[in-house]
């Protein structure tokens, strides 16, 4: 059983309980273990904490030796946003690929298998799925993280994902309430704004969250967005009208409310993380997510002390903080009872797979993630189609990755094509001369052009123009949201850049 260190008062324990901090390293630092003993109830894992499934299992076992009911959270959406396979790419296609297939049974199966692998490593809270409707094609941060632009499609797949994940004993955290899809600004960098009226919000943004609540989602994550029709002053994370009035009272949600990362500029640059955390708890949030960028003990102590000071000054009601802490502990109890015995480090390897997920190995043909990635492909043959039978040149037109995705995770088709067509060469290009540079590098080889959201990047669309004018037999692989008409001798839309999406595309190119 968990033992709280003597000398830690109730107010301080509650202030620690509502925090979900991160840390650096692949084992738990001493300060983190000490704070778990004082009342900290949650820990967030990021790519910097991941090496192998066995290492993650050892890490979570280390945490549970200090607090047996600790919530271990991770931002593992599959697809483009992966932490468990941050160095290799995900074994699971993301939401947009699942939405393109539109088989809720498949979505539930993928989410269950993802949850099973997380649970095998001792992770019991997943900051997923994204229930955002990708209604703005210029959205720089959601895109393929969304199931699609159709409200009913997003709603049914959100519910299926929640059911699949939680059937594996991992709590789902549906995000980003009340909906981040109709924005053209990334809240990692600034404050997005949605100017839709109440009728549109009710019939569009809120529908998937209603479905998630009906499916029993154990957590909901707030968005750092301003929605004037709901609250003209406060962003959703800090809005009592949105978190308590809308989510709790109108939608009837009774689970855990988690904030998005408080170090994101939408909050930290406008309110500061200490002030923002106090306002979030006062508004109705129960858990403060911090640690994607801030991951040290001083940050935890600053937030703890800010919450305690706010209670003592009367700014934050003590009963609100106590209620938030109780909801955190209630979710911890649910996860402990649902999945009480995480795998040992040795068994985690077989349960979770290798770091690369073994998707290119002998078991790949029956892997649910690869099956889903294959089914998600949209393949269009053009007038100049000819099979790719010799090693091509892969030209990857590489945009700047958003912070949620990160730039450390590999993507594309080159690695997989190299296995199928030995001698395949590749290069990465960006900017206004990308097309000409790719042509020069390719020489006489057949070109496979790989793009990601070409409709959002003028230079990328122009690079394709240059390539196709000179080499109409070019194969085009779109690994973002396909908005433009199919182009090229062979056009493949993967609906995401997960490693299995690249494998499925390579199979189609090589004719496997």
Give catalytic residues, as residue numbers. 188, 260
Distance CA 26, CA 19 (A): 20
293 burial class (0-12, 13-18, 19+ CB within 10 angstroms)? Answer: middle
Mention every residue, 6+ apart, whose C-beta is less than 8 A from residue 179.
Answer: 131, 132, 133, 194, 201, 204, 205, 206, 208, 209, 223
According to DSSP H, which parts of 72-103 are helical?
95-101
| Coil, strand or helix at 509 | helix
**What residues pair up with 429 in beta bridges, in sequence order?**
397
Count of Cβ atoms closer than 10 Å to residue 508 Cβ: 19
Distance CA 154, CA 145 (A): 11
Count of Cβ atoms closer than 10 Å to residue 254 Cβ: 10
Tokens encoding 432 = 């206004």
Distance CA 44, CA 340 (A): 19
Nearest to 506 by CA among 419, 393, 436, 407: 419
**CA-to-CA separations, 37 to 6, 348, 440, in angstroms, rounded:** 9, 26, 61
DSSP annotation string for 292-321: SS--SHHHHHHHHHHHHHHHHHTSS-HHHH
For the chain, the straight-line distance linking the first and the last C-alpha, in angstroms and rounded, comes to 54
Count of Cβ atoms closer than 10 Å to residue 128 Cβ: 29
| Type and span of the H or E element at 435 | helix 434-442
- Helices (H) and strands (E) in the chain — how many of each? 19, 14
């Amino acid at each position: 059983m968990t033992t709280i260190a003597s000398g830690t008062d109730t107010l301080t324990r509650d202030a620690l309980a509502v925090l979900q901090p991160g840390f650096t390293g692949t084992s738990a630092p001493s300060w983190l273990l000490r704070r778990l003993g004082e009342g900290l109830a949650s820990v967030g894992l990021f790519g910097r904490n991941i090496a192998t499934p066995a290492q993650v299992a050892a890490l979570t076992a280390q945490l549970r030796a200090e607090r047996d009911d600790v919530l271990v959270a991770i931002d593992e959406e599959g697809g483009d946003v992966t932490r468990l396979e941050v160095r290799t790419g995900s074994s699971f296609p993301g939401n947009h690929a699942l939405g393109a297939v539109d088989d809720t049974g498949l979505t539930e199966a993928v989410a269950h298998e993802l949850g099973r692998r997380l649970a095998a490593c001792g992770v019991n809270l997943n900051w997923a799925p994204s229930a955002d409707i990708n209604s703005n094609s210029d959205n720089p941060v959601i895109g393929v993280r969304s199931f699609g632009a159709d409200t009913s499609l997003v709603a049914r797949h959100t519910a299926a994902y929640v059911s699949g994940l939680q059937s594996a004993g991992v709590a789902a955290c549906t995000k980003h309430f009340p909906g981040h899809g109709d924005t053209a600004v990334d809240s990692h960098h600034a404050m997005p704004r949605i100017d839709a009226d109440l009728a549109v919000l009710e019939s569009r943004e809120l529908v998937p969250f209603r479905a998630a609540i009906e499916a029993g989602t154990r957590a909901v994550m707030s968005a750092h967005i301003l929605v004037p029709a709901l609250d003209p002053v406060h962003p959703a994370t800090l809005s009592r009208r949105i978190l308590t009035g809308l989510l709790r009272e109108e939608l009837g949600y009774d689970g855990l409310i988690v904030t998005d990362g408080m170090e994101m500029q939408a909050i930290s640059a406008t309110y500061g993380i200490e002030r923002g955390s106090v306002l979030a708890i006062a508004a109705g949030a129960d858990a403060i997510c911090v640690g994607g960028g801030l991951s040290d003990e001083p940050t935890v102590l600053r937030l703890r002390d800010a919450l305690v000071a706010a209670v003592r000054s009367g700014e934050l009601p003590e009963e609100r903080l106590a209620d938030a802490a109780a909801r955190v502990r209630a979710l911890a109890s649910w996860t402990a009872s649902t999945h009480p015995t995480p795998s040992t480090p040795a068994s985690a390897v077989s349960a979770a797979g290798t770091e690369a997920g073994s998707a290119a190995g002998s078991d790949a043909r029956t892997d649910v993630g690869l099956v889903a990635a294959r089914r998600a492909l949209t393949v269009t043959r053009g007038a100049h189609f000819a099979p790719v039978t010799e090693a091509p040149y892969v030209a990857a037109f590489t945009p700047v990755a958003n912070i949620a995705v990160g730039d450390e995770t590999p993507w594309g088709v080159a690695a997989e094509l190299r296995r199928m067509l030995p001698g395949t060469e590749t290069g990465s290009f960006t900017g206004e001369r990308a097309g000409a540079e790719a042509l020069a590098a390719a020489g006489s080889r057949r070109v496979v052009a790989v793009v990601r959201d070409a409709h959002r990047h003028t230079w990328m669309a122009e690079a394709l123009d240059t390539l196709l004018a000179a080499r109409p037999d070019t194969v085009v692989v779109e690994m973002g949201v396909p908005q433009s008409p199919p182009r090229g001798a062979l056009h493949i839309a993967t609906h995401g850049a997960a490693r299995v999406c690249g494998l499925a595309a390579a199979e189609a190119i090589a004719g496997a």
